[in-house]
Amino acid sequence: MPAKGPQFKVLPRRPPTPRGGRVYFYLSMLTVLLTGSVLVYGTLDMPAFGDPKAPANLHVAPRYIAQSEQETGVINMVTAVLASYRGYDTLGETVVIFTAGLSVILLLRRIGEGGKEG
């Protein structure tokens, strides 16, 4: 007798790890720790947050403030930066958010009467 109420598709369970799985566990932990160490090392040379002498504050921001309206034709500076200077980046972020939302919908579809999706 089928259970009453909504039913959701779930991902199948992973088979149990074989006895040699400890080697893979330690290898993966080593990889994660090395990658994390390299990322932390890469941030040591970054300027402090909000530093007025950071390159972005000395070179990029003044140019956007002074020339954004002439270069893009947009009065609002935030819109000029997001739509013109960083247009491809904004498009990429939108695609990522859409893909994530679609994936959640596909994973949590309800199974209707008789086991059919719907």
Q: How confident is the model at residue 3 (pLDDT cuts 50, 70, 90)?
A: low
For the chain, which residues make up each domain, given as ranges? 20-76, 86-118
Return the percentage of the chain with pLDDT > 90, whole number. Answer: 31
**How would you label 73-102 residue by residue, b for 16+ Cβ within 10 Å and e otherwise?**
eeeeeeebbeeebeeeeeeeeeeeeeeeee
Q: Give backbone dihedrals phi and psi of 10, rounded to 5 degrees, phi first.
A: -130, 160
Looking at every residue in the chain, the average pLDDT score rounds to 83
Query: Mind listing the pLDDT tens digit for each residue in 23-67?
Result: 888 999 999 999 999 999 999 989 988 889 998 889 888 988 899
> Average pLDDT of 83-112?
88
Q: pTM of the entire structure?
A: 0.47
- What are phi and psi for residue 20, nearest 5 degrees? -80, 10
8 forms beta bridges with: 110
